[in-house]
């Protein structure tokens, strides 16, 4: 399971499995799911799943708004319990329009074993029936689609309603930066490469945000290798996920 960095929130040590042949899931859709981009105005949220007995077609089933839970929260009922994976998305099926398509990673619905939950070491649950999925805001690469893809985590509705600091999700669209863009001019240029190179030899001071954006190879240090990769990207040579969005709260 993919690791998360998140705030520690109070939760019950155990959540009992709900005896049901179907499950209900909630999803907090970020504001950018509803933006008009690439000729694809959208006001819907969908969920895609598959199971041994049910064929599925992208983008799946439209979800229902759940204002009783919160703003931009959507609900889906009657998901077969045998469906072990779901993908939430903005219910747009033209994958050629990268700027318009948004989705989550493939999400496990089979529960947390002890130590798996990103915000509690003790939480155990056998399924996520009645839980809400919240994005962490960081875009990830996805070899199967050109859609902008984000990860996240499951929370109980009680925990969700009692806290407003999940990954800074309420500021999800407030500040966006681009990996490798250390001068934050919304483009990857040779100047970014030069600044990173200067930082690698201690001739430049970086903020925490710049440090995160500069470490393009993900080795937790700023080196000439990062500078070289950014320079390659500035002249159109693919390198890591340089140019992907990073959400900074």
- CA–centroid distance for 74 within its chain: 16
**Which residues, 6 or more positions from 109, have their beta carbon under 8 angstroms from its beta carbon?**
23, 25, 79, 83, 84, 85, 86, 127, 128
Residue, of 166 and 241, whose pLDDT is higher = 241
Closest by CA position to 92, among listed 57, 60, 64, 59: 59
List the structure tokens of 232.
């390659």
What does DSSP assign to residue 110?
S
Q: What is the pLDDT of residues 77-102, one digit of tens each?
A: 999 999 989 999 988 877 666 567 88
> What kind of architecture, by CATH, is found in domain 176-247?
Orthogonal Bundle (1.10)
Query: How sure is the predictor about 187, in pLDDT bands with cuts at 50, 70 and 90?
Result: confident
Q: Where are the domains of the chain?
A: 14-171, 176-247
> What is the bridge-based pairing of β-strands 176-178 and 107-108?
unpaired
d(CA 33, CA 72): 10
Whether the pTM exceeds 0.85: the reply is: no
pLDDT recorded at residue 171: 38
Phi, psi for residue 76 in degrees, rounded to 5: -130, 130
pLDDT recorded at residue 139: 65
Largest CA distance in the chain: 62
At 79, is the secondary structure helix, strand, or coil? Answer: strand
Asked if residue 188 lies in contact with residue 230, where contact means CB atoms within 8 angstroms, the answer is: yes
Asked if residue 50 lies in contact with residue 83, where contact means CB atoms within 8 angstroms, the answer is: yes
d(CA 87, CA 136): 15
């Amino acid at each position: 399971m993919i690791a998360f960095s998140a705030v520690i929130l109070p939760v019950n040590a155990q959540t009992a499995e709900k005896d049901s042949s179907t499950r209900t899931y909630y999803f907090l859709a970020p504001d950018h799911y509803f933006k008009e981009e690439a000729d694809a105005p959208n006001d819907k949220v969908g969920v895609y799943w598959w199971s041994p007995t049910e064929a599925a077609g992208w983008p799946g089933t439209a979800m229902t708004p759940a204002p009783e839970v919160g703003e931009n929260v959507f609900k889906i009922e009657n998901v077969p319990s045998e469906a072990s994976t779901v993908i939430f998305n903005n219910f747009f099926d033209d994958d050629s329009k990268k700027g318009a398509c948004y989705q989550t990673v493939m999400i496990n619905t089979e529960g947390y074993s002890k130590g798996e939950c990103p915000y509690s070491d003790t939480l155990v649950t056998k399924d996520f029936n009645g839980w809400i999925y919240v994005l962490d805001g960081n875009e990830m690469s996805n070899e199967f689609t050109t859609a902008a893809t984000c990860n996240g985590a499951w929370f109980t509705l009680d925990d969700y309603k009692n806290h407003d600091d999940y990954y800074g999700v309420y500021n999800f669209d407030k500040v966006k930066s681009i990996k490798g863009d250390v001068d934050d001019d919304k483009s990857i240029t040779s100047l970014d490469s030069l600044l990173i190179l200067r930082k690698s030899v201690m001739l430049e001071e970086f903020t925490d945000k710049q440090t995160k954006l500069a470490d393009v190879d993900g080795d937790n240090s700023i080196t000439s290798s990062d500078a070289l990769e950014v320079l390659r990207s500035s002249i159109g040579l693919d390198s890591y996920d340089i140019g992907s969005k990073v959400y900074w709260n």
